[in-house]
Amino acid sequence: MPDLRERILHSGVEMLSDVELVTVLLGTGSARAPASELARRLLEDNLGLEGLNRLTALGLAAHHGLGPAKAARIAAALELGRRSALRSAAARTTLSSFDAVAAWARPRLSALEHEEVWLLALDGRNGLKSARRIAQGGMHGCALTTRDVLAPALRDAASAIVLVHNHPSGDPRPSPEDVTMTSLVARACEVVGMPLLDHVIVARGGSASLLESGVMG
């Protein structure tokens, strides 16, 4: 452990492997295994950092040799990483393309084990005015009405909006329910003069745009 800390101080944290970084977070091992072995098992059991990101603190604590204190440290470090990625994305406030929206959404949503729908309210230059989670469900979707979309968008005086949601299954392709909901929202937005520019789906397996798929008319 002192050797790893010295390497961080003199060579930079980016020089450490995933196992070594988790070892530093653990600090100490258990009665049966050193910290480096616990770190290796933790990453292997969860298929790497992406799997760790999907675990709650309680899920981490359930791993043999961790316990609540070590689990809390790892969960806090992962959350700091997520927040840093989100704030970096927030600095790029112009969302004028599918790629820009997907880049905003992936660090927030793609690794979640439940579905969330977010409303992105844009100004007249496609600048991000606000981002709100407007629905949350389980593994297989969540209910959403046109009112759930229009009410917050009108409160934020959006010139246009983009919908974003994730597919916990890992497959970003739109479902029939996604297509139906998007069509309903797009028609309602036309009535109030606030266009729905796109509906973007993100998942571990990639991203999809309902506009580019041609299903928004």
3-state class (DSSP) for residue 204: coil
Fold of 2-86: DNA polymerase; domain 1 (1.10.150)
Per-residue pLDDT, 54: 85
Domain positions in the chain: 2-86, 93-209
Q: Which residues of 5-30 are buried (b: 16+ CB within 10 A; e: fewer)?
A: eeebeeeeeeebeebbbbbbbbeebe
pTM above 0.75, yes or no: no
pLDDT at 91: 56
Q: What is the mean pLDDT of residues 107-121?
A: 92
Query: Residue 90 pLDDT more than 60?
Result: no
Helix axis angle for 2-11 and 18-26, nearest 10°, is: 120
Question: Rounded distance, CA 113 to CA 138, Å?
Answer: 8
Q: Tell whether the model's pLDDT for residue 143 goes beyond 80.
A: no
CB 135 within 8 A of CB 117: yes
Longest CA–CA span in the chain (Å) reads 66
Q: Which stretch of 42-51, 133-142, 195-204, 207-216 has the lowest confidence by average pLDDT?
A: 133-142
Comparing C-alpha atoms, which of 111, 211, 108, 109 is closest to residue 162? 211
Binned at pLDDT 50, 70 and 90, residue 141 comes out as low
Residue 148 has pLDDT above 60, yes or no: yes
Average pLDDT over the chain reads 89
Give residue 142's pLDDT. Answer: 66
Fold of 93-209: Cytidine Deaminase; domain 2 (3.40.140)
Across 95-104, 134-143, 187-196, least confident range: 134-143
